Structure 1
Amino acid sequence: MSRAAWPIAALLVGYPLWWALGFGGLSVIILAGPMAVLLWRRRPILVPPGFWLWMLLLAGYLVSALMLAESPPGTYGELGPGRLIGWTMRLALYVSVLIMVLYLGNLTERELPQLRLVRMLGVLFATTVAGGLLGVLVPGFSFTSPVELLLPRWLSGNAFVQNLIHPTAAQTQKVLGYAMPRPEAPFEWANAWGSNVSVLLVWAVVGWWVHGSRRQRVLLAVLTALAAVPVVYSLNRGLWIGLGLAVVYLIVRVGGRTRLALCGAATAAALAFALSPLAPLVAQRLDRPHSNDIRAFTVTATLAATAHSPVIGYGNTRNATGNHRTVTTGRTAWCPGCGHPPLGSDGQLWLLLMTQGLTGAALYVAFFVGAIRRHWADRSPVGLGGVLVMGLVLLYMFVYDGLVTPLILYLISFALLWRNSRRGPA
């Protein structure tokens, strides 16, 4: 690996440091600067198939700023710093991940070997497992980051910004009727942890099992067993469904002895889990669909709001008047359950509908569906893994926000597929 590849190594391998400093997923915005410089020096710049779709998505997001001061029926709030901060940070992220994809695709195999990039994602998987265990064992762990100390109070106190810059081990929620920690370290939300651990597991398997030594395979087996604890404690049904569908996908797409081995491993893992103390917790979660009513309310309200600006959306999320239990808004002493998430915060699809209308949602879906269509025939480990991640993107968009760290991993996976198509299967 040459010096030209240091920004991606700093992002993936150095991620725990970024998190501790308070940058977390925002580190990609900082590192996009040197990535852009390196790209500029090696013109002409190669662009991936589907590049124009992301450019249209960016253009639509710029146009959506025209609606930032507007609020659809059934919502409240005026244009203020919070709304502008959210719009600006999302724009910076959309631009930064695009620069990152171009940067990765324009590095040669000699500068950044494909397997090296995959194994960097494996290192981040190990970091994610460690963060998940921290959230289970020490859920109250948190600290004020240097970035948080340096920012003015009016900015660091913004709820969206606070989640990004204040490192915490877990979110405590009453999902099962009592306070329960849901691991989120080293990411911004518990749902982000769930999305990221599944994507990173895919690449850890490719780098450390398929192309790994015996020692690396043993390490991965231990890490995967340990990951089962925070995976269950995360109470992320979307994650559980994603992992189940990933196993089914691999069984269908691989053949011969690999399919038999995978079936055997999946059966053994399922049996071991069923006999473990973790199984009752899963059963409790499935018996208590805590968030169904909330999601039904916010999704319905999001669709109703989208109908008033279906082409360009509203640029940012909006607060609904009331929630699934009451017509009042916000928590009070007599109504602690009256709080609710903003419209567009229950998944990337709903965020896109709210911020960019049907146009933005269609472009986002087309971008990742196009990647699946182009690379479906690539049956190499990277090809199979990349297409699987693209499928998980389309599944998770209904339940998980793509911002901030999930989108970074989605686009790195996209770049791996693009690199594979240009350099030959790996």
Structure 2
Amino acid sequence: MTLVVPGGRHTSSSAATSTRAAAHSAPEQRPTALPAWPLAGVLACYPLWWALGLGVLIFPLAAAPMLVLLLRRRAAGRPLLLPPGFAWWLLFLAAVVVSVAALGADPSGTVAEPATGRLVAVVYRLSLYASLTVLLVYAGNLTERELPRRRLVKLLGWLFVITVAGGLLGMVAGRFEFTSPVEWLLPHGIRSKGFVQSMVHPYAAQIMDLVGGEKPRPAAPWGYTNTWGNNFCLLVGWLVVAAWASRRGGVKLFAVLCLAVSIVPAIFSLNRGLWIGLGVVVGYVAARYVLMGRIWIIGAVALAAAGLVVALVATPLGDTVNARIDNGKSNGVRSFLIERAVDGFAESPLIGYGSTRNTIGGRNSITVGESSECERCGNFTVGGNGQFWQLMYAHGAAGTGAYLAFFGYGLWRFRRDRTPIGIAGSAAIVSSFSAMLWYNSLATPLVFMFLAYALLWRNEQAANRQGGQALESR
């Protein structure tokens, strides 16, 4: 018997059968497989990228191969999965683009500037939002064979260890810095800008006068002290989950020691937002476990709190905390910028102004301004004191609502996930809601928010597959 194939060729049935068998036995048509290296390489080697001067720039660079690989898989006929609630995120991106129409507006009390002068910052933010969107989709489409969830959790736990190490470096060598290879390649006029320096010039800490005298506040490897504190809260849960899943006692002991040591740079960072964020994470996790009937968590939290109190009383850490509480130098600036953000939102409530704006002078005088000796003096950035205020001011109600709806929907969608990954991922997103009142999310905090979302999403996919297999076996 012969099989007629379009094109006039005749093939024996046995040959056709062997051809089909060979096709089925081929290991997952490699053109459709997603390699782990674009994501795993960025996370595992982040200290190297930081030292090279790439820092946050590595994410747009890594997004390029991710996008190519996703499109290649889609062209090969494999489905491209999108995260739950993705329509909200697309609406947010659309709001960001639409708000560019107001880029030429000069709200009252801000420095007048042509729209073209603000375009660089807008393109930078939009490129990051787009790149990290690709990262989210890529991370969610990776299979367990390509990048197991457990390995991704380990990578995030590793970055918490790096955060603690960077914090210790900032404490003991606060003025440590060096010129990176990328920085060497840039023209002097560009690399001398403060914003560019924060991306390409590696340094251990920001030197600030908050409690009397200039003191280093940990920043490595995340560029800013506030970003360091934000990432601390977003990553701490993953170290616990990774250690919890390990069968090796040494790994668990290392995690406990790392958590204990991390208290020191967390306190010396003088970062009140970090302290609040940790309280939110611990409170949320404890509440979830109590609702699951695991009352022992109350005793564990009480024991940890008692140990912290003893450490604060018996060491200079307590004096540092008291000094920071008694010296709220940044309170006036934050209040001033919040007031300006609210006023600006009232003037352009729907689409905002497309970007941040610089105030005319400071909160006490309009005569205080930027100079060649002090690039950051006087002209405070409206929208630079928290993601919420930036969204509201730059992208109006449309952008703010869509952004909050995406992450809020995720929390609701995955609320029944009681696995360690489910609780840690939800805790990271919950902490980001509190942090957005004083921290901005671009770029690395949004990376870790997206990866928490991706892990929750992949957990749901795995649960659905297991449920389907259970039904088939009945």
User: Which TM class, normalised by the smaller chain length?
Assistant: over 0.9
Query: Could you report, residue by residue, the CA deviation over 1:187-218 in whole angstroms, capped at 9, with x for unpaired residues?
Result: 12100000001111111111123545211111
Query: Does the Cα contact within 8 Å between 1:382 and 1:416 map onto a contact in 2?
Result: yes
Match of 2:271 in 1: 236
1:418 to 1:389, Cα distance in 2 relative to 1, 3 A = same
Match of 1:253 in 2: 288
Tell me the distance in 2 between the aligned counterparts of 1:259 and 1:116: 30
Match of 1:417 in 2: 456
Q: Report SS of the residue matched to 1:45.
A: coil
Displacement of 1:332 in angstroms is: 7.2
1:64 to 1:152, Cα distance in 2 relative to 1, 3 A = farther
Deviates more, 1:36-45 or 1:169-178: 36-45
Aligned counterpart in structure 1 of residue 51 of structure 2, from 14, 20, 44: 20
Task: Letter of the 1:265 partner, please give it.
Answer: A
Task: Letter of the 1:234 partner, please give it.
Answer: S
What are the equivalent positions in structure 2 for 1:166-181 lying under 5 Å apart? 166-181=201-216
Tell me the distance in 2 between the aligned counterparts of 1:331 and 1:79: 18
Query: Could you report, residue by residue, the CA deviation over 1:59-109 in whole angstroms, capped at 9, with x for unpaired residues?
Result: 111112222222111111313665222111111110111111110111111
Task: Letter of the 2:242 partner, please give it.
Answer: G
Task: Letter of the 2:299 partner, please give it.
Answer: L
Query: Could you report, residue by residue, the CA deviation over 1:364-387 in whole angstroms, capped at 9, with x for unpaired residues?
Result: 111111111111111110111111
Q: Which has the higher contact order (CA 8 A, sep 6+)?
A: 1
Displacement of 1:269 in angstroms is: 3.5
Match of 1:122 in 2: 157
Match of 1:356 in 2: 395
Task: Letter of the 2:200 partner, please give it.
Answer: I
Query: Could you report, residue by residue, the CA deviation over 1:133-160 in whole angstroms, capped at 9, with x for unpaired residues?
Result: 1111111111122222222344333432
Q: Is 2:176 the counterpart of 1:141?
A: yes
Aligned counterpart in structure 1 of residue 95 of structure 2, from 60, 71, 77: 60
Tell me the distance in 1 between the aligned counterparts of 2:375 and 2:135: 43
Query: Does the Cα contact within 8 Å between 1:192 and 1:400 map onto a contact in 2?
Result: yes
Tell me the distance in 1 between the aligned counterparts of 2:94 and 2:375: 41
Tell me the distance in 1 between the aligned counterparts of 2:247 and 2:351: 47
Tell me the distance in 1 between the aligned counterparts of 2:357 and 2:210: 24
Q: Is 2:54 the counterpart of 1:35?
A: no
Match of 1:270 in 2: 309
Match of 1:79 in 2: 114
* Uncovered stretches (5+) of structure 1, i.e. residues with no partner: none
Tell me the distance in 1 between the aligned counterparts of 2:184 and 2:317: 39
Deviates more, 1:319-328 or 1:91-100: 319-328
Tell me the distance in 2 between the aligned counterparts of 1:359 and 1:174: 38
Q: Report SS of the residue matched to 1:387.
A: helix
Task: Letter of the 1:177 partner, please give it.
Answer: G
Tell me the distance in 2 between the aligned counterparts of 1:87 and 1:104: 26
Tell me the distance in 2 between the aligned counterparts of 1:132 and 1:108: 34
1:149 to 1:332, Cα distance in 2 relative to 1, 3 A = closer
Displacement of 1:416 in angstroms is: 0.8
Match of 1:345 in 2: 384
1:23 to 1:357, Cα distance in 2 relative to 1, 3 A = same
* Uncovered stretches (5+) of structure 2, i.e. residues with no partner: 1-32, 467-474
Aligned counterpart in structure 2 of residue 9 of structure 1, from 24, 40, 50: 40
Deviates more, 1:217-226 or 1:9-18: 217-226
Match of 1:89 in 2: 124
1:228 to 1:90, Cα distance in 2 relative to 1, 3 A = same
Q: Is 2:200 the counterpart of 1:165?
A: yes
Task: Letter of the 1:362 partner, please give it.
Answer: G
Query: Does the Cα contact within 8 Å between 2:333 and 2:363 map onto a contact in 1?
Result: yes
Tell me the distance in 1 between the aligned counterparts of 2:95 and 2:139: 25
Q: Report SS of the residue matched to 2:234.
A: helix
Match of 1:323 in 2: 362
Displacement of 1:165 in angstroms is: 1.5
Displacement of 1:398 in angstroms is: 0.3
1:3 to 1:307, Cα distance in 2 relative to 1, 3 A = closer
Q: Report SS of the residue matched to 1:42.
A: helix
Match of 1:384 in 2: 423
What are the equivalent positions in structure 2 for 1:202-213 lying under 5 Å apart? 202-211=237-246, 213=248
Displacement of 1:274 in angstroms is: 3.1
Query: Does the Cα contact within 8 Å between 2:360 and 2:378 map onto a contact in 1?
Result: no
Tell me the distance in 2 between the aligned counterparts of 1:302 and 1:258: 40
Task: Letter of the 2:388 partner, please give it.
Answer: L
Tell me the distance in 1 between the aligned counterparts of 2:319 and 2:379: 29
Tell me the C-alpha RMSD between the 2 structures. Answer: 2.2
Aligned counterpart in structure 1 of residue 104 of structure 2, from 46, 52, 69: 69
What are the equivalent positions in structure 2 for 1:262-341 lying under 5 Å apart? 262-330=301-369, 339-341=378-380
Q: Report SS of the residue matched to 1:196.
A: helix
Tell me the distance in 2 between the aligned counterparts of 1:355 and 1:140: 34
Q: Which has the larger radius of gyration?
A: 2
In the superposition, the TM-score normalised over structure 1's length comes to: 0.94
1:103 to 1:258, Cα distance in 2 relative to 1, 3 A = same
1:220 to 1:292, Cα distance in 2 relative to 1, 3 A = same
Q: Is 2:263 the counterpart of 1:224?
A: no
1:183 to 1:276, Cα distance in 2 relative to 1, 3 A = same
Tell me the distance in 1 between the aligned counterparts of 2:297 and 2:381: 45
Tell me the distance in 2 between the aligned counterparts of 1:279 and 1:240: 13
Query: Does the Cα contact within 8 Å between 2:103 and 2:355 map onto a contact in 1?
Result: yes
Match of 2:10 in 1: none
Task: Letter of the 1:392 partner, please give it.
Answer: S
Match of 1:45 in 2: 80
1:63 to 1:191, Cα distance in 2 relative to 1, 3 A = same
Query: Does the Cα contact within 8 Å between 1:314 and 1:355 map onto a contact in 2?
Result: yes
Q: Is 2:219 the counterpart of 1:184?
A: yes
Displacement of 1:260 in angstroms is: 3.1
Match of 1:401 in 2: 440
Displacement of 1:266 in angstroms is: 3.5
